[in-house]
Structure 1
């Protein structure tokens, strides 16, 4: 999994798989989900990042994993 922030494009892209995207759907204005040939999500793009999250410091990203319930 990779997270890329492109400040020039004002966008964030979360890569979930290295499989190539075969199609994309804009599920909400400025939110694009990429799918592979088997219709699995391979990536999510968020456009207009500075407007959606103006207080976010992109230099300080925190990855948090939630434990599975027993």
Structure 2
């Protein structure tokens, strides 16, 4: 899994799989899902990042893993 922030494009892209995208679909305004040829989501793009998260410092992203319950 990879996360790429393009400040010039004001966009964030989350790569879920290295499989190539066969098609894309705008799930809601500015949220684009990329699908592989087996219809699995392989990437998520979020446009207008600065408007969606004003004041957020993208260089200080925090990743959190929720522990599993036995």
- Normalised to the residue count of structure 2, the TM-score between the two structures is 0.95
The runs of at least 4 consecutive aligned structure 1 residues that moved more than 3 Å come to none
Where structure 2 has 5 or more consecutive residues not aligned to the other structure, the ranges are none
- Normalised to the residue count of structure 1, the TM-score between the two structures is 0.95
What is the CA distance between 1:68 and its match in structure 2?
1.8
The 5-angstrom pairing of residues 45-56 of structure 1 reads: 45-56=45-56
Where structure 1 has 5 or more consecutive residues not aligned to the other structure, the ranges are none
- The CA deviation string for residues 14-37 of structure 1, in whole angstroms up to 9 with x for no partner, is 000000000111000000000101
State the Cα RMSD in Å.
Answer: 0.7
